[in-house]
Chains A and B, each alone.
Chain A
Amino acid sequence: MLKVIFIYIFLFLISSDILAQCFSSPGNPIGGTANLGSVEKKLLRISAFHKYSLSDYYLEGHKNSDFILYDCADMNFIGSIIAYGLTDKFTLETELGYFINKTIYYDKRLVLPEYKSKGNGFSNSVISAKYSLYFNPDKRIKYTLSAGVKIPFSTEPQYVNNALLPMDVQPSTGTYGTVIQSYLLKENSLKGMRYFLINRVEINTENKQEYQFGNVFITSLFVSKHLHFRWQWLTENWTAILQVRHEYRTKSKNRDIEVGSSGSNLLYLSPQLNYTIKEKWNVSVIADIPLYQYYYGTQLANKFAIGFNLTRDILFK
């Protein structure tokens, strides 16, 4: 049962991390590697997901801005995550992502040669090692640490029609980075509730264009509950999860000078519904709703995001 809940949360985290991206403080979706840390020995976990995100208004600090440049921006991202438990405590994980599109649409009130800039292609990949530091089966507590390296698909920036794409729509950060995560799980079997606290830090380095994306600090609190209603035949395979996530991004730097309109302080609410098919497949739908957004300078703010996940666990004996 615990395993199934892990999968639920895993799916949820994948989604929320992908959606953590906004166009005003770009780069790539943050990881997707944030699952619950270690998986059991000889367990192969494969996940595929798709995300759509839309941003369509400017914020200056936390107030609306009348600035016009982008009318809106959206992106479609697909990715996969593969994790394998080398031992019961030690897990290796890889992530690969691809932007189907990462597009900004310029405001038609401006007189411009074109009204769209679109990038696509492979994002960064992440390879991480996770180690379960503490597990108390009586108290149902587990704590896991993870360290990984972010590897860009390409260190060269993308051009379209021989014009350099804006940083906002580059599919890859074009540079290496470090990802540190911790996972704390507490389970209450009597109530059928689980609580998760997850921290993630992402350190970015400078790319060839001498641009350094800001570092990212994320704290997520999850509450999950297996659904039990009167009509058990209807609800037995369903799990509801609610996440509150805080994201803090430091300002990006360009040639060692801080980029004025970069960096943010965001709070999201992310409800998710999960369905298990024959205890083998997990299908999940998630929404990302901004509760509070504060952007340094003036930046395009995220309106909403939705996602779909599919995960399968395979245990090798």
Chain B
Amino acid sequence: MPRRRAIAAAVAIALAALLGAFAWHRSELSRSGDVRLESASLDDVRAAFNARPGEPRVVALLSPD
């Protein structure tokens, strides 16, 4: 019986950690502007660039590595 309780507790902790990580991920992204994780096409880039034509645009090319 104590063994079952220990397993149940471990599963509950793992589940809570997973849900916490998911919630953190969503909150991190929601604080940002438009974020697209899928591979962009040039049309996507053009649309993003031209979205606010009356403003100066800053474009940075960066590597995540």
Same complex origin of A and B: no
Q: A residues engaging B (CB < 8 A)?
A: none
